[in-house]
Every structure is written in C-alpha cells, then in structure tokens.
Amino acid sequence: MASNTVSAFSTAVATIIGNIIIGPTPPSIYDRLIKQDALIVDRSAGLEVIRSHDPTGDGQVTIVKSKATGACFARKLTPRTRLDSHNTSSWDYGPYKKPNEVHVLEVSRLKDHPHPRILSFEALRHDRQGEFVIWSSFCAGGNLAEQIDFWRQRRRTEVPHQFFLHILVQAFEAIAFLHNGLRYAGSGKYYRDGNHKTIVHGDLKGENIFLRWSSENVGAMPDIVVGDFGTSIVEGHPGARVMAGTLPYNAPEIKAIYGDNPIDEDHVDLYFEAGAAKTPPADIYAIGVLLYMIAAKARKDRDPFPANQDLSELRISRDYEIEGLKDFIVKCLQVDPSKRATADYDEQTGIMTAVDTFRDMRDLLITKNPALGPTDWLHPQPVR
C-alpha cells in the first residue's frame, strides 16, 4: 500500500512538473531582464533631487533624476549602525553593521537572476565607513498602502475588483519566485530558476509593495513589485540578526517568541530571535493579513487583524464575495505553519492553482469593465 501511495505521489509530481513547470528558466530571460533593469546611474552628469522622504531607522530615501537621461532612481543612504551584543549577524565584522539589504544582494541570486515582480537594486559602499548607498529602480506609482489610502480617504471608495485580483496574482508571482524560484511564463505555465536560493522577505505589507508603470502593464494597471529586503533571510546563510518586521503582520509562531513583551533593552533579543525564525509560511501569513484587510475593508489604524479569531468565523465584505477568495485567505492564515498555504503546486498546501484561476478572473474583469483612468491613481502613469 505504501509503495503504491509513493508511486501515485511521484506520478502526480511528475505531471505537475511536465504540464505546469515547463523547465528551467532560459538564460535569454535573465539577459533581457538584466538589460531592462540595469541601474545605470551616471553621477558625473548630475542628479536632480525630485523629493526626499522622511528618514527612518533604515536610512534616508531620496528620489533623484539624471540630468543627462531623465531617468529616475531611488537612492537610500543607510545609517552607520555600530555592532553590539544584540545586532551582530554571523557575517558582520568591524565596528559597523552591514545593512541586511546589502547582504541579501551579495548572497542571493537577485542580481544575476532578476524578476519583474522584485525591485531591482544595487549597493555601493559610501565614502564614510559603515554607510552604504542602495540604488533601486524608481516605481512612479508609489506604494500599495498609499494607493489604498487614496481610494478610501480621498475617493471614498474601495479597491476595485480587478486591481484587488491584480494585487493577489502578482504578489503571489513574487512570492512563488522568492520561495521556490518559480517564474510565470504565461498561459498558466512556469519556469523554475536553477540553483535558486529561497528568500524569506520577512516584512510583506502595503508599504513594501510598489506600483510600477511600464509599457508591459496589464489592463492599464501598474505592476506589483516587492521591495525592501531589510529583514529578509536567504537560504543557506543562518545567523541573521534582523528584527521581527511589522508586528500586526507577524504569524502566530513568530508572535509566540516575543509575546506581549515591549521592544526594549531587556527584550530586544526576543525580537531579533523572532526575525531570524521567519520561514516561507510567515510570508504567506503576512500576505494573507494584507488581503484580508482589503477584502474586509479593515483600517489598519482602528481595525487590526483579529489574530485570535476562529478562522471558520472569518468575514469579508460582501463587496468582495469573489468565488474562492475567502477560502484562499483562510488557507494563508492557518495558525499551524505546516498546514498553511504554500506558493507552489504541492498537493496538500499548494495554492498556485488558485492563483492561476484568479488571474483568469482578473483578465475577464479587464475585458468587461472600463479601464481605470488617470484620476483613479494617486500617482498616475507619467506622460512621456
């Protein structure tokens, strides 16, 4: 009986690999994306500051424009952070901590295997010891959190159905790549990157999901692009000392590490321990929280996600009664990480078949509904 079960499972896996995962990613795709996303910043030609964001603990972000080419970039200057008994990762040395984003870029395959749903970035050491400049492509559509706030606060409306499904589909394309090296090839098929190193993002939320206008946009909507790898963990590189990310999005197994303790000198190690303990299921939980917050019309400032709620009683708005959506979100929010959804085609937990169905739903809505226009966006597509 056992051998028959194993044989049936192996046959199912082989069928998936042959029918859905059609093979390794062709090198020509890497070459095209590297050329397309190349960050060519000619500082000698002069850079004009377009706007500066308020500094955070991660650094100061400035949007700059090349006077020579007109291309825009995001420039983050990281702060000098002295190493101490709490924050030293296994790869840190010297008096200052290496920014985690820099480490991720160095040890992952993101630089030579870019992905259209992942923000491309490049790190350069600054003139002052301990400081780095992180250049990234500029997403002119802003971030998802501010776009949702724009709809709710200024337009007095909610996220349109086709864009909600667009968020779900393209966010999971990003997660399937980060976790499993899957790369959407079109028509429900995927390539898989060879020698992919799993990356746990560690802080998936609307503020770290960016909107990028391009000539390849689907349905006149900006692409969904995941960025900010400041709390990310790369497979095969243990010993990370990263914080636990944004607390309301943390999975139960992560919250259990720090409990109700405050982030202070006596308990900060618990939050570093929680950050280092994140695995792919923690990312799935975080994106489940984000999708729930949209579909339930919840406000993050006054309607935090009910983490202790019985999932059988989970409610979403009638306005988002999309077939299969509630079940999808519940699978992402399972308390037991071993039973939580995975961004693959696993027979028990795989959720990418549902993502493919939601992609078809999105495409159907695009053909049936009027396209969203410039006034629907906080940052509309720039006129060239």
Question: Residue 382: inside a domain, yes or no?
Answer: no
Element (H, E) at 123: strand 121-125
Residue 2 lies in a domain: no
Report the number of distinct structural domains present in the chain.
1
In-domain check, residue 13: no
* 301 has a pLDDT exceeding 80: no
Q: Is residue 12 part of a domain?
A: no
- Domain with 179 in it: 19-376
- Residue 347: partners with Cβ closer than 8 Å, 6 or more residues away: 9, 12
Give a yes or no: residue 48 inside a domain. yes
Residue pLDDT, tens place only, 106-137: 999 999 999 999 999 888 877 788 889 999 98
Task: Pull the structure tokens for residue 223.
Answer: 């692409």
Instruction: Look up the pTM and report it.
Output: 0.93
Q: What is the 3-state secondary structure (H, E, C) of 271-285?
A: HHHHHHCCCHHHHHH
Indicate whether 8 belongs to any domain: no
The SS3 call for residue 139 is: coil
Distance CA 286, CA 297 (A): 17
> pLDDT tens digits, residue range 204-254?
999 999 999 998 899 999 999 999 999 999 999 999 999 999 999 999 999
Please, where are the H alpha helices in the chain? 2-19, 27-36, 100-107, 144-149, 161-180, 252-258, 268-276, 280-295, 325-332, 352-368
What is the model's pLDDT at position 44?
Answer: 65
158-196 residue pLDDT tens: 999 999 999 999 999 999 999 999 999 999 999 999 999
Question: What's the rounded Cα separation, in Å, for the pair 223 and 214?
Answer: 8
> What burial letters (b/e) apply to 153-165, b meaning 16+ CB within 10 Å?
eeeeebbeebbbb
- Residue 6 in domain: no
Residue 174 sits in a domain of what CATH number? Answer: 1.10.510.10
14: in domain: no
- Least confident segment among 14-28, 91-105, 248-262, 328-342: 14-28
SS3 262: coil
